[in-house]
Copies of this chain bind each other. A is one copy, B any other.
Amino acid sequence: MKPIIRDARPADVADILRLIRALATYEREPRAVRASEDAIHQTLFGAGAQVFGHVAELDGSIVGIAIWFLNYSTWTGRPGIYLEDLFVEESIRGTGAGRALFRALAQEALRRGCARIDWAVLDWNRPAMDFYRAIGGRAQTGWQPWRIDGAALEALAA
């Protein structure tokens, strides 16, 4: 049986948080998730929400998620989709759920006039890279991600 891909609904929030946590565990950061059900509900379904979710549903259960938002490139002059989290339960990997989620995002991207889909992968995650390569993705070389947060962010603002 093939999973159904559909837009996330408010009733999915507990499952979405469960899969966000499962992804963090897979990424070896099981305690990294500080988001709550309330926060996710507000982010995805609150007034003016700009973060979106697709889910993969199999036999009435949520078995996969894609959480994304729009970004923007001054070079293309167009928006793009940034895929924040993609996760498919281990037990159904290989059934096409990941590809189906990505296809739904690609359709969403074309519908919205987006130039591309971007995401990031942990540099040891070979199975994910193999999958991304198989659907037409490619690693971006030459760019280094940087961040400022916590006390450094507050000091800069002061």
Q: Please give the residue numbers on chain A whose beta carbons come within 8 Å of chain B beta carbons, in ascending order.
A: 20, 23-24, 29, 32-36, 39-40, 43, 50-51, 67, 69-79, 82, 84-85, 102-103, 106-107, 109-110, 115-124, 129, 132, 135-140, 142-150, 152-157
Cross-chain pairs A/B with CB under 8 angstroms, 18 sampled:
A20-B75, A24-B75, A32-B75, A35-B77, A40-B74, A43-B77, A106-B148, A106-B154, A107-B157, A117-B148, A120-B145, A121-B143, A122-B142, A123-B142, A123-B144, A135-B148, A135-B156, A145-B145
Q: Which applies to chain A's interface (DSSP): helix, strand, loop or mixed?
A: mixed
For the complex, what is the distance from the CA of A111 to the CA of B73, rounded to whole Å? Answer: 24
Max chain B C-beta neighbours (<10 A), residue from A43, A74, A79: A74
What number of copies of this chain does the assembly contain? 2
